[in-house]
Amino acid sequence: MTRWCRLRAPDDGNGIMKRSASLVAWSIRAKSVAAIGVIFICLPSSGRAQASGSWNGLNYSVSGNNITITGYTGPGGDVTIPSLIPGVVGSVTAIGDLAFQNCTTLTNISLPDRVTSIGDYAFVACTSLTSISIPNSVTSIGANAFMRCTSLAGITIPNSVTFIGRSAFQECRSLTSITIPNSIASIQSCMFLDAGLTSVTVPDNVISIGDSSFEECPLTSVKIGSGVTSIASFAFADCPALTGIIISRGVSSIGDGAFSDCSRLASISVDPGNNTYTSLNGVLFNKAQSVLLACPGGLAGAFTIPSSVSSIGNVAFAGCRGLTEIIIPSTVTRLRDALPNVC
């Protein structure tokens, strides 16, 4: 590596000495001023960094020693992104926003083990992409990163990932299963909206499940981790194959319509240790049973609301098309938007 040296001396009346034309001249000059206390500082030369370029169909930008893949013009198929690009100082550390957008010929991609981030919309609408290898170096996956990758059937998210953006896997309809890493604290809004997931386990380290995060998935089983405290609106709405769900003991907030329009949902159960919610005959109530929050969509026939209820939550009966009669006691004083799509 090319180096240049800057000579610095205590104030001798002339201030900081100027750089010499050559290292030899510096050496001679250093000897001549040794008596006044010379300090040599050798600094690496950064040279003229290449701001951007293209190699083997990969467009990239360079900042310091970090290379970001910004676009792709290659033929698709099985693509392996290298750690190093010939003639460029640094290593590939990021897949930029929109880098592979609409690359419908891409079938498989492997990322180098120095990549730390996958940008927003990085692989959006790569409809032929079936698998991707994500290394343990990755810490973040951006919003909509794999949205509409309708052929994506295999992906492993390492525990190094601490953040996954909203709608990251929205409309990934071939993705039937995925292991959510323990390293993330939140499942963002619409993360798996209209994906192909048939089962999901929310790990214990996750605190919140965002709105519409699993909406319209063909889920048959859901396990909610003990660390979850909030389930946002429509998180599991319109999951037609879901037959049952258990609210873990730590959940203290459930949004409107979280389980609405699940036509086969026979019961919503609650851990007995939960201090905020309870379940009676498969119907979700607050702990005091004064608020009816959600009726499972698979409930059929006549249903009598308990006399302890004074309020019915918004969209509490949404999608309960099997009900033939709902008997509401005189104790109910609030009934707003509770019965859409019942008939």
Whichever domain contains 278, its CATH number is 3.80.10.10
184 lies in some domain: no
Please indicate, yes or no, if residue 71 is contained in any of the structural domains.
yes
Residues 24 and 60 in one domain: no
Query: What total of structural domains would you count in the chain?
Result: 3
Whole-prediction pTM: 0.83
- State whether 334 and 205 are in the same domain: yes
Same domain, 80 and 140: yes
Parent domain of 60:
49-175
Residue 189 domain-assigned?
A: no
Same domain? For 231 and 145 the reply is no
Q: Within this chain, do residues 20 and 55 fall inside the same structural domain, yes or no?
A: no
Check whether residue 125 and residue 165 sit in a common domain: yes
Query: What is the reported pLDDT for 154?
Result: 86
Asked whether residue 18 falls in the same domain as residue 75, the answer is no
Q: Is residue 196 part of a domain?
A: no
pLDDT at 4: 29
Asked if residue 53 belongs to a domain, the reply is yes
Mean pLDDT within 282-303: 96
| Torsion angle (degrees, nearest 10) of CA 178, 181, 186, 189 | -20
Based on the domain organization, do 212 and 335 belong to the same domain? Answer: yes
Query: Taking 90 as the threshold, does the pLDDT of residue 24 lie above it?
Result: no
Cα–Cα distance, 254 to 265 (Å, whole number): 17
Is the Cα dihedral 310, 314, 319, 321 positive or negative?
A: positive
20: left (phi over 0), alpha (psi -120 to 50) or beta: beta
- Measured between alpha carbons, how far is 20 from 17 in angstroms, rounded to an integer? 9
What ranges make up the beta strands (E) of 23-143? Answer: 39-44, 52-55, 58-63, 66-72, 77-80, 91-95, 106-110, 117-118, 131-133, 140-141
Quick one: pLDDT at residue 339?
59
H/E segment holding residue 200: strand 199-202
- 185 within a domain of the structure (yes/no): no
Q: Do 76 and 21 share a domain, yes or no?
A: no
Q: Would you say residue 321 lies in a domain? A: yes
Vertex 185, ends 182 and 187: CA angle to 5°? 95
Query: Is residue 285 domain-shared with residue 245, that is, in the same domain?
Result: yes
Give 82-96 pLDDT, tens digit per residue: 999 999 999 999 999
> Does residue 190 have a pLDDT over 80?
yes
- Name the token pair of 297: 């969509």
For residues 220 and 257, state if they share a domain.
yes
Is residue 190 in some structural domain? no
Q: Which of 130, 158, 175 is the last residue of a domain?
A: 175
Same domain, 115 and 242: no
| pLDDT band with cut points at 50, 70 and 90 for residue 337 | low
Domain boundary residue, one of 175, 191, 223: 175
Residue 41's pLDDT is 33
